[in-house]
Amino acid sequence: MREFRYERAADPPAAVALLAAEPGGAFLGGGTNLVDLMKLGVATPDVLVDVRQLTSSEVTELPDGGLRIGAAVPNADLAADRRVRDRFPVLSQALLAGASGQLRNRATTGGNLLQRTRCAYFTDVTTPCNKRAPGSGCSALEGLHRNHALFGATLEGPGACVATHPSDMAVALAALDARVRVLGPDGERVVPMSELHRLPGEDPDRDTTLRHGELITALDVPALDMPSRYRKVRDRAAFAFALVSVAAAVRVTDGVVEDVRLALGGVAHRPWRATAAEEALRGRPATEESFAAAADAELAAAVPLRDNGYKVPLARNLVVRILLELGGEGR
């Protein structure tokens, strides 16, 4: 039995101050990931600061037509919000592709962003894992890794890690250029989604660029003036994480791709914004041929492991398919 304290604070600054004074503490959102990790002995916080009632659980309008999403908005409410469904279908679809109805009712927006990898060795405390126990090694490199990364992994040395980020919502938010509002001991700052999650580098125990004690208070999603969609491929139809997923938005004018956003999930330690594919597509005819060439441009940088090479054609097919659905053949 491992004891820990449970604390509530009067407001967000008090929660931040409380955690700043507790180097071994953690914020608690819905607890659907953190509490599981505590039961397994993977996370061992000595104090939990409950922030589920502290940050906003509202979705509000921004002046540019975008939305501000409070960190405590449950995943289920966000997916069902009429404005999200109408203006950002990619976000609603990504949320509904994750977990189950019960989990989405409990899970929060802030907690979803910071959920930890589903690498089997990370949650098995009897095996070496550089993310859980820095310097112990990476069991996945030579072990089970068919769900693991194609891009940006660290393949050797004390920082070796080939894990992927598990959140579906984060992939949609990466494509939407969302901004994360953070309150820390030194005040507020705004972190672009592209800078929130990190690659493993030499220290895979750090998933994000957030500092200890920084609280996510909200997300800002800027207006989107193109159709968007999310597609996820997984081992079974429910309750499974992405093998590969794609979040896409595209605007086609007179048969030409005017603007495009693409992000991939299940392929890297962070949501993978497919900038090479985007670049290859802008100004090109909206045809299957251009879409395939763009996917190939992105996947040229893939470094498959022994057992996850199948993800390369899977990602290619998924990118082509979603772009055809959204704006293909001059639509």
Ligand X SMILES: Cc1cc2nc3c(=O)[nH]c(=O)nc-3n(C[C@H](O)[C@H](O)[C@H](O)COP(=O)(O)OP(=O)(O)OC[C@H]3O[C@@H](n4cnc5c(N)ncnc54)[C@H](O)[C@@H]3O)c2cc1C
Q: Which residues have a Cβ under 8 Å from the Cβ of 304 and sit 6 or more positions away? A: 150, 311, 312
Gyration radius from the chain CA atoms: 20
Among 55, 93, 130, 139, which residue interacts with ligand X (rule: CB under 6 A)? Answer: 55
Residue 166 binding ligand X, by CB under 6 A: yes
Residue 71 binding ligand X, by CB under 6 A: yes
Q: How far apart are CA 146 and CA 129, in angstroms?
A: 17
Among 51, 71, 72, 138, which residue interacts with ligand SF4 (rule: CB under 6 A)? Answer: 138
Residue 239 binding ligand X, by CB under 6 A: yes
Q: Which is nearest to 230 in space by CA: 246, 244, 241, 242?
A: 246
Residue 168 binding ligand X, by CB under 6 A: yes
Nearer to ligand SF4, 119 or 169 (CB): 119
Are 230 and 97 in contact by the 8 Å Cβ rule? The answer is yes
Size of the site for ligand X (CB under 6 A): 31
Residue 82 C-beta: closest distance to ligand SF4, Å: 38
Stretch in the footprint of ligand X (CB under 6 A) among 30-38, 120-128, 283-291, 292-300: 30-38
Position of tokens 């095996």? 127
**Angle at the Cα of 144 (from 126 to 131), degrees rounded to 5?**
50
Residue 140 binding ligand SF4, by CB under 6 A: yes
Give the rounded distance of the alpha carbon of 171 from its chain centre: 5
Parallel, antiparallel or unpaired: strands 215-221 and 256-265? unpaired
Residue 123 C-beta: closest distance to ligand SF4, Å: 9
Q: How far apart are CA 1 and CA 135, in angstroms?
A: 27
User: Which uninterrupted H or E stretch holds 262?
Assistant: strand 256-265
Residue 129 binding ligand SF4, by CB under 6 A: yes
Nearer to ligand SF4, 142 or 235 (CB): 142
Residue 164 binding ligand SF4, by CB under 6 A: no
Nearer to ligand X, 108 or 290 (CB): 108
Residue 206 C-beta: closest distance to ligand SF4, Å: 12
Residue 51 binding ligand X, by CB under 6 A: yes
Are 204 and 131 in contact by the 8 Å Cβ rule? The answer is yes
Determine whether 240 is exposed, middle or buried from the number of CB atoms within 10 Å of its CB (0-12, 13-18, 19+).
middle
Residue 257 C-beta: closest distance to ligand X, Å: 28
115 binds, among ligand X, ligand SF4, none (CB under 5 to 8 A by kind): ligand X
Stretch in the footprint of ligand X (CB under 6 A) among 32-40, 60-68, 129-137, 148-156: 32-40
Position of tokens 């992994």? 153
Q: How far apart are CA 225 and CA 163, in angstroms?
A: 34
Residue 137 C-beta: closest distance to ligand SF4, Å: 8
Q: Restricting to residues 170-209, name those near ligand SF4 by CB under 6 A.
A: 204
Among 30, 66, 159, 200, which residue interacts with ligand X (rule: CB under 6 A)? Answer: 30
Q: How far apart are CA 234 and CA 244, in angstroms?
A: 7
Parallel, antiparallel or unpaired: strands 47-50 and 5-8? parallel
3-state secondary structure of 60: strand
Footprint of ligand SF4 on this chain (CB under 6 A)?
Answer: 117, 119, 121-122, 129-131, 138-140, 161-163, 204
Provide the binding-site residues for ligand X, judged by CB under 6 A: 26-34, 51, 55, 71, 75, 98-99, 103, 107-108, 110-112, 114-115, 166-169, 215-216, 239, 241
